[in-house]
Amino acid sequence: MAAEKKQRVPKAYCGKILNGEYSEELTNRVAECISAFQSFDATGASVIPYISAWEEGTKIIWYEFAGKKLCDLLGCPCSDIPDIFKEMVIDQRVYEYVDIEPKVQEEIITRQQMSGKRSGLRNKVKEEGAVEAVYKIALSDDKTIWFKDRADIETFDQDNVCISLGTLTDVSKEMDHKELLEKIGYFDELTKLPKRKILHRILEINLAQVQRNHLNNFVFLMIDIDHFKQVNDTYGHQAGDYTLATLAELMTLIKRKEDEFGRYAGEEFYGVSHGNIENGYAFAERVREKIEQTVFTYNGQDISITISIGVAAADEVKDFDANKLIQLADKRLYAAKQQGRNRVVSAGG
């Protein structure tokens, strides 16, 4: 039996089933699928075949086979794919076909959320016997790729093992276009800045980069225009809208490529900037000073405004929690208001 198994083990095998103490049914099935997938992969097809497996009740997943293109893209051997893939994932999108309504529901699971949902997702695909998902992968700091994953799940109760026989398809063009259309809906019409509803997405992406060691740290800014009601009351709401739009333009001119500003609500804005708390304070001060020195002229009327800013760094909050980061910056914004406005507070919150 051992000699028969050895004969079935293909060259450059990266799995463990063919070398392990598993049933003949599972061993034969895996050997058969590896042979078929190797032949398919050798054709140079655009889709990438793979065979993954996991033992129920454990968190460990491994690959019995992976197409050469996947190994080349991730820059690792087949045996390292589970760990490398997990580190590179930005988010996973799971699709569910709803019978009651003629539509498909999309659930976006961030990298941070995936670790807590992994067990539940495996149980779900086992029950359904199939998986359909899309992964957004960070190949580098400035390059991403989208993979559509479609697979059939086979369960071998005798071995307490599930195998996933699937293919990965590059759907980057389609998903980039979809993300662009989503992004259009995320922009504020008046200021042309991202709306509040995209804030958590921006923070999750930056937090994921910190956890993957692609980014050392970043800061979050809560920004509020001081006494903005007086601008509306004195000059009118159109002048107020002009002030908000012009303020957004000024902040956009100040920011670097890696910085981001958005509109939180009303006269409140938010900002994200790479660096530690000291870098964040210096960045916020540049923004505050620029606004203080600028005269907003609307219909011949000069309007002067100031802003207050609360700054918090990602490494100041436990478990890199986005909500806690927002709350800390908001608390420091309140402190800036209490201390007389037109100032930046980055500590003591």
Return the amino acid letter for 236. G
Strand partners for 225: 307
Cβ 344 vs Cβ 309: under 8 Å: yes
In the numeric block, which tokens belong to residue 44? Answer: 């140079």
How far is residue 188's CA from residue 209's CA, in Å, rounded to a whole number?
26
In the numeric block, which tokens belong to residue 347? Answer: 């500590």
Measured CA distances, 331 to 22, 182, 197, 222, 273 (Å): 58, 31, 20, 9, 18
Q: pTM for this one?
A: 0.53
Cβ 168 vs Cβ 147: under 8 Å: yes
Mean pLDDT by 10 residues, the chain (349 residues): 56 89 95 95 94 88 94 91 90 66 61 65 80 89 88 95 95 82 77 87 84 87 96 95 94 87 95 94 96 94 96 89 92 96 87
Cβ neighbours of 208 (radius 10 Å): 21
307-313 and 344-345 as β-strands: parallel, antiparallel, unpaired? parallel
In the chain, DSSP finds a helix count (H) and a strand count (E) of 11, 14
- Residue bearing tokens 């389609």: 174
The whole-number pLDDT of residue 117 equals 60
Cβ 148 vs Cβ 168: under 8 Å: yes
